Amino acid sequence: MPGVGQAEGVSDERVVALWRDGGAVVVPADEPVLSAFDLGLVRGDGVFETVAVTGGGTPHLDAHLARLERSARLMELADPGRGAWQALVDALLARWSTPVEGAMRLLLTRGLGVGLPTTALGVLSPVPAETVRQRTEGIAVVTLGLGVPADFRSTAPWLLGGAKTLSYAVNMAALRHAAVHGADDVIFTSLEGQILEGPTSTVVWSADGVLHTPPPETGILPGTTMARLFARAAEAGRPTAVTPGTVDDLQAADAVWLVSGVRAAATVHTLDGVPRGDAGLSAGVRGLLAR
């Protein structure tokens, strides 16, 4: 299993880099960097990506930068471009001296106002021990309704389906709600009970030898780690499918995972209070992701 145990090394190292005057500038991690008027703060008006740092590098950066650009387009945010993001990433990695796994966040906000420059920055900190525990031991998940029909967001661009925005208050509230009910994570469902996504992950399940994930037309984020898993599964001759599924489908599946960049494939061992197995499939899925 990649990286397990690494993040348990003690480190409170944190790095912050700002895009300023056409260059990446590393600043002390404890130093305030954002104006109180920045719309990223006062309106959650921005987009972000969380990128896994392993072995001192960001092996899957390109997919995240592509999605960041897509989110920025959906939000009509001026993107400083690949060169700027690469410079921020390089600046963060150059100061990252610990051997532990890291989680790098790249953020782009609307800045001080429409027509003014956007704010671009990156931060890097160790992967929390709890994340590593969930990757190793699996997770208990509850399903929670978003209240929106599965086909609604594709017709309502103002709902920002498919954009990874800084407005994650509902995602965080859902995780608090799960914790109160003894669960680690959440799968959101549509009004009619279709599976959508986790607050910070993509749902993948295995049934009859096929890996399934819900359709992006539901307004969910296109998962970069799910896409990598499916590409490698296809290379390995393993069938994959984009499938509208229900909670019943998940309960009947051979295995269910919440897939994301830093936690990778977390095995769902309990769904809505019902214990479930993984039919021994998790090792193979993690193996595909580790290639």
Residues found near a second copy in the complex (CB under 8 A): 14, 16, 29-46, 48, 75-76, 105, 107, 109-110, 121, 123, 125, 144-149, 152-153, 156-160, 163, 165-174, 176-177, 186, 191
Q: How far is the CB of 277 from a second copy (least distance, A)?
A: 28
By C-beta, is 172 or 231 nearer to a second copy?
Answer: 172
**Could you tell me which residues come within 8 angstroms of residue 30 by beta carbon, excluding any fewer than 6 positions away?**
none
Instruction: Give the CA-trace dihedral at 270, 276, 280, 286, to 10 degrees.
Output: -20
Question: What is the spatial distance between Cα 130 and Cα 205, in angstroms, rounded to a whole number?
Answer: 23
Name which of 171 and 270 has its Cβ closer to a second copy: 171
Counting Cβ atoms within 10 Å, is residue 3 exposed (0-12), middle (13-18) or buried (19+)?
A: middle
Q: How far is the CB of 249 from a second copy (least distance, A)?
A: 22
Closest distance of CB 76 from a second copy, Å: 6
What would the two tokens of residue 248 be? Answer: 């019943």
Q: Closest CB to a second copy among 23 and 37?
A: 37
The neighbour count for residue 228, using CB atoms within 10 Å, is 18
What is d(CA 166, CA 162) in angstroms, rounded to the nearest whole number? Answer: 13
Q: Which residue, 61 or 146, is less far from a second copy as judged by CB?
A: 146
Q: How far apart are CB 237 and a second copy at their closest, in Å?
A: 39
Min dist CB 148 to a second copy, Å, is: 4
Nearest residue (CB) to a second copy, 188 versus 257 = 188
Identify whether the C-beta of residue 107 lies closer than 8 Å to the C-beta of residue 75. Answer: no
